[in-house]
Amino acid sequence: MVEDKTLGIDVGASGIKGAIVNVITGELVTERFRVPTPFPAKPKAVAKAISGIVNHFEWKGLVGVGFPAVIQNGTAKTASNIDKKWIGTNVEKLLSETTGCPVYVRNDADVAGIAELRFGAGKSKKGTVILITIGSGLGSAVFTNGVLLPNSELGHLKFKGMIAEHYAADSIRKRLELSWNDWGKRFNEYLQHLEFLFSPDLILLGGGSSKKFDKYKDLLQVDCPVMPAKLLNHAGIIGAACLAASNKKE
């Protein structure tokens, strides 16, 4: 049985955000609550911050968490934008013990993609759909006829003698002080590479730079449609809640 309300939490590089979500409609039923991501973002400190969000909502039920790492069987296998001490940590076990709630954890881009395909710009889309989240790095979620290929990490593809997110993430635009035109050309090259590899039917763009889509959309020269995600900052929260609700152990 899928419960209709679940607490969703999205762990980002600068902030950890949460809200109670109606997983049937995809709507937030509370205001979003945010706390700063601890620095350094070590396991105990992040777990304490997440517990603070759970306590803020006086929540006792299911919790879903979108987390910036490859997650296999609840355990973090990578740590690209968080502390390396997370590698090998059973995130689900740590957060369940810290919060006192049953917690389900998945890659942050994957849960954002789940939300977009269920309630957002990818709703009812068939074929291969790729979501790219543009922020500190380049997150990705890949779906074929609505079925997720977990932990795709397309921001870590080898590209231009480096990994792709070191060439075309929004953090690179800021660090190199690139104009939207110059960064857009870089991002277009990256999307062309994805198109060559995957022949997607639709590419969705999430993350902070998706809000600036009008500034670079005319630079994108790929054959498939490219559009900004609809759920924006709520996607990770909604997707995490939906994933937890659907994975509840009976």
* Average pLDDT for 215-224: 97
Name the superfamily (CATH) of residues 125-228. ATPase, nucleotide binding domain (3.30.420.40)
Residue 13 pLDDT greater than 90, yes or no: no
Q: Nearest to residue 109, comparing CAs of 78, 84, 85, 86? A: 78
* Average pLDDT for 42-55: 97
Q: Nearest to residue 69, comparing CAs of 117, 15, 105? A: 105
Please give the C-alpha separations between residue 103 and each of 97, 99, 110, 122, 142, in angstroms, as whole numbers. 9, 8, 16, 26, 23
User: What pairs with residue 148 in β-bridges?
Assistant: 143
| Reported confidence tier of residue 248, pLDDT bands at 50, 70, 90 | low
- The whole-angstrom separation of Cα 190 and Cα 80 is 19
pLDDT at position 249, please? 45
pLDDT at position 82, please? 83
pLDDT at position 40, please? 92
pLDDT at position 152, please? 95
What phi and psi, each to the nearest 5 degrees, are found at residue 100?
A: 75, 15
Assess contact for 98 and 51: CB atoms under 8 A: yes
Range 175-212 burial, b when 16+ CB lie within 10 A, else e: eeeeeeeebbbbbbebbebbbeebebbbbbbbbebbeb
The predicted model scores a pTM of 0.91
Give the residue range(s) of CATH 3.30.420.40 domains in the chain.
Answer: 5-110+234-247, 125-228
Q: Nearest to residue 194, comparing CAs of 127, 129, 122? A: 129
- The whole-angstrom separation of Cα 40 and Cα 34 is 18
| Lookup: tokens for 249 | 């152990």
Give the chain's mean pLDDT. Answer: 94
pLDDT at position 3, please? 62
Helix residue ranges, H only, 65-179: 91-99, 108-119, 165-168, 170-175
The angle subtended at Cα 163 by Cα 161 and Cα 165, nearest 5°, is 130
Q: Which tens digits make up the pLDDT trace of 116-170?
A: 999 999 998 999 999 999 988 999 999 999 999 999 999 999 999 999 999 999 9
Residue 228 pLDDT greater than 80, yes or no: yes
Residue 1 pLDDT greater than 60, yes or no: no
Strands (E), 12-152: 15-22, 27-28, 33-36, 63-67, 71-72, 75-76, 103-107, 128-134, 138-144, 147-149
Tokens 């490219």 belong to residue:
226
The share of the chain scoring above pLDDT 70, in percent, equals 98
Residue 173 pLDDT greater than 80, yes or no: yes
| Lookup: tokens for 162 | 């480096």
Fold classification of 5-110+234-247 is Nucleotidyltransferase; domain 5 (3.30.420)
